[in-house]
Structure 1
Amino acid sequence: MQRGRGKAKVRRIYDAPDPDDGIRVLVDRLWPRGLSKDEARVDEWPKSVTPSTELRRWYHGPDGEYEEFCRRYEAELADPPAAEALDKLRALAAKGPLTLLTAARDPDRSHTSVLRRLL
């Protein structure tokens, strides 16, 4: 499954790599289960742009709500280490195709939609 507009697109990490992916960036904090690094073909893994463990747990818990998750995640991305890593992703996207990789079952309702919008 492939989503995207412009130079940044989102794909599930479990999908086979595509020649049009360009730079492949894993944007999950944890390495995906059952996938070797050779199979994944990840070029970058900037953990500082991933949602915090606390935010992920809140979102997947009983009180988690997508719009509030997006607001809280954007606030996390404003912190200096995350903002610096986000700027690096913007620079990579400006050079050519960039693919954000995630294990999320529904990338449209995950942090990847926020990242893609900010790029």
Structure 2
Amino acid sequence: MSKRSKQVIFKTKRIYEKPAKGDGFRILVDRLWPRGLKKEDAALDCWLKEIAPSVALRKWFDHQPERWSGFNLQYKEELAKNPAVAELLEKTKTQAHITLLYAAHSETYNHAQVLLGFLEEQLMQG
């Protein structure tokens, strides 16, 4: 098992916010391209759409806060089986700062928050 020489810092950010120097490696984690955003304006390093919640789960959740607990649990179950997680964790070996970008309006009730917690748990275990 390889040890990481440095701790990776994750954060989340709406993709519509202006890119900042402190963002580090910017990854769009939405399955669909954000409405109204030109690709050249996104300042992405990577678009990892496979890590987003399944279409069925996304539609069921529909960003309704009362479904947050169920969504959180179901999305973590999806992530536990998702090969894209390994791809994202591989990025942590070469990147000190990773920003998970999402298009949802809510900064609290969105899949990037669940993904952030899941990745941090994986790094603590590994």
Query: Normalising TM by the smaller chain, what interval?
Result: 0.7 to 0.9
The partner residue of 2:28 within 8, 26, 29 is 26
Runs ≥4 residues deviating over 6 A = none
Which protein is bigger by CA-based radius of gyration?
2
Q: Does 1:87 align with 2:89?
A: no
Question: Which residue pairs with 1:36 in the alignment?
Answer: 38
Question: Which residue pairs with 1:58 in the alignment?
Answer: 60
Q: What SS does the corresponding residue of 1:107 show, helix, strand or coil?
A: coil
Query: Relative to structure 1, is the Cα distance of residues 93 and 108 closer, same or farther in structure 2, using a 3 angstrom cutoff?
Result: farther
Q: What SS does the corresponding residue of 1:11 show, helix, strand or coil?
A: strand
Question: Which residue pairs with 2:111 in the alignment?
Answer: 111
Q: How many residues align structurally? A: 111
The amino acid across from 1:111 in the alignment is H
The amino acid across from 1:21 in the alignment is D
Query: Relative to structure 1, is the Cα distance of residues 65 and 22 closer, same or farther in structure 2, using a 3 angstrom cutoff?
Result: same
Question: Which residue pairs with 2:51 in the alignment?
Answer: 49
- Does the 8 Å contact 1:11/1:99 carry over to 2? yes
The amino acid across from 1:107 in the alignment is E
- CA separation in 1, counterparts of 2:85 and 2:96? 16
- 5+ residue gaps, structure 1, are 1-5
Q: What SS does the corresponding residue of 1:98 show, helix, strand or coil?
A: strand
- Does the 8 Å contact 1:32/1:103 carry over to 2? yes
- CA separation in 1, counterparts of 2:63 and 2:96? 37
Could you report, residue by residue, the CA deviation over 1:21-72 in whole angstroms, capped at 9, with x for unpaired residues?
A: 111000111100111111001111111110111101111188x610100111
- CA separation in 1, counterparts of 2:63 and 2:15? 24
- 5+ residue gaps, structure 2, are 1-7, 120-126
- Does the 8 Å contact 1:8/1:93 carry over to 2? no
CA RMSD of aligned residues (A): 1.9
Question: Which residue pairs with 1:3 in the alignment?
Answer: none
What's the TM-score, normalizing by structure 1?
Answer: 0.84
